Structure 1
Amino acid sequence: MEIVVTGRHTQIKQRFRDVVESKMNRVTAIAPDAQRAQIVLSHEGNPRQADTAERVEITVIAGRSVVRAEASSTDEFSALDMALDKLTLRLRRTRDRRKDHRRGYTNPAPVDLGTILPPEEPEAEPEEPNNSPQAAIASELGPGESVEVQVGDTPIVIRRKLHLADPMTIDEALYEMELIGHDFFLFVNKETGRPSVVYHRHGWSYGVFEIDTADNVAKVIKG
């Protein structure tokens, strides 16, 4: 596995590189297909943040999967240990999920909280200026393009970006969520075609939201 160590606002000491090299075998022991590991060490110069002055981010590429973890501490070595603990936990979870699927095990179905219907349309209001939040979603975007709009005289900035994604099942979305270590994951449900969100509740319990309009739901019921 290729290991790349870089620094952000800090220089990497040889001792830290050596420790990283020696401890990354924890990753290959769980994920032997890991191809590359990117470790980024960042230093926070603010003395008020001394307890989290050193931050370590680890990104591992294994096949088509990308697994990330990060942690902060008073020194780079303890931050590395904490980040590795998080990373190996996520790697074990994904490995166990693969084993369960091979054994024919099916996870309990996520809790479906039902379809969220949009509120009734409000009365028409005066046209907003170009620096309104509506301006951030008014224009068409191409794949990877983004637009930012500041809201009036406030410091609030709304950023919109278009991502292309293949539709996937709920189980595949849960798998992707576990890989990146987030508490939620936005996707297009392959079975319903609806924009959906899976989220982590507690333990191995998950929930799922699906978004649709009242008109579409009515068509499905009638059909």
Structure 2
Amino acid sequence: MIDYQIRGENISTTEAIENYIKMRLEKLNNYIDANNNPIAHVNLRKYNEKTFKVEVTMPLPFLTLRAEETQSDFYSAVDLVSAKLLRQIRKFKTRVNRKSREKGFKGIDFNEQVDPLVPEEAEDKKLEVIRRKTLSLKPMDLEEAALQMEMLDHDFFLFLNADTNQLDIIYKRDDGKYGLIETENVESSK
């Protein structure tokens, strides 16, 4: 069973709203193993121009599902987010999990149910890399990484964090502030 953490900004989360969100996201239970203790972090926002933004993030082992949608109708936004999450699961299942299972990896246990409302994507669509870059990583602190990113006029920058000796990514957010993605080594079970 999915646990829900529903938060609203400029909108009160009524019982009817929470029940609708749970009803629409309940379909995900058919695909996600309950042993993973899934938690859906749901953020709702109402903007002055009478539009609603629905964001759902579900961290799972080796995968994070995330979708957001902005619509003038709150219920339409929830429906579209639900459909996006189902498509992400299908994409992960057909492209990545199949290869992992062949190697004996057990990350996420997906049931074989198919939702008729979610269109099938082309399963054999080949990944096409159109550009390749090579980086020489020198240790640097966060401020230097931000400066390098700005000098290159990029939205993100991969660097070797001098403090942690790990690969990290600094990125520019839509609000003009910065975000940091810190990496950690994960032991794979064999």
The TM-score range, normalised by the shorter chain, is 0.5 to 0.7
Aligned partner of 1:172 in structure 2 is none
Aligned partner of 1:136 in structure 2 is 147
Aligned partner of 1:15 in structure 2 is 16
Aligned partner of 1:163 in structure 2 is 182
Contact 1:7-1:42 at 8 Å conserved across structures: yes
- Across the two proteins, how many residue pairs are aligned to each other? 136
What CA deviation, in whole Å up to 9, does each residue of 1:160-207 have, x standing for no partner? 85733549xxxxxxxxxxxxxxxxxxxxxxxxxxxxxxxxxxxxxxxx
1:27-176 alignment runs, 5 A limit:
27-32=28-33, 33=36, 35-45=38-48, 47=49, 50=50, 53-96=51-94, 97-103=96-102, 110-111=128-129, 113-115=131-133, 136-137=147-148, 142-143=163-164, 159=178, 161=180, 163-166=182-185
Q: Which runs of 5+ in 1 are unaligned?
A: 119-132, 148-156, 168-223
One-letter code aligned to 1:164:
T
- RMSD of aligned C-alpha atoms? 3.9
Distance 1:159 1:65 in 2: 23
Distance 2:132 2:57 in 1: 35
Q: Identity, % of aligned pairs? A: 15
SS of residue in 1 equivalent to 2:182:
coil
Q: Which has the higher strand share?
A: 1
Deviation at 1:25, TM superposition (A): 1.9
SS of residue in 1 equivalent to 2:29:
helix
One-letter code aligned to 1:7:
G
Deviation at 1:115, TM superposition (A): 4.8
SS of residue in 2 equivalent to 1:90:
helix
Q: Which runs of 4+ in 1 moved over 2 A?
A: 61-65, 99-104, 106-118, 133-137, 140-147, 157-167
Contact 1:136-1:159 at 8 Å conserved across structures: no
Deviation at 1:107, TM superposition (A): 8.4
Find out whether 1:25 has 2:26 as its counterpart: yes
One-letter code aligned to 2:15:
Q
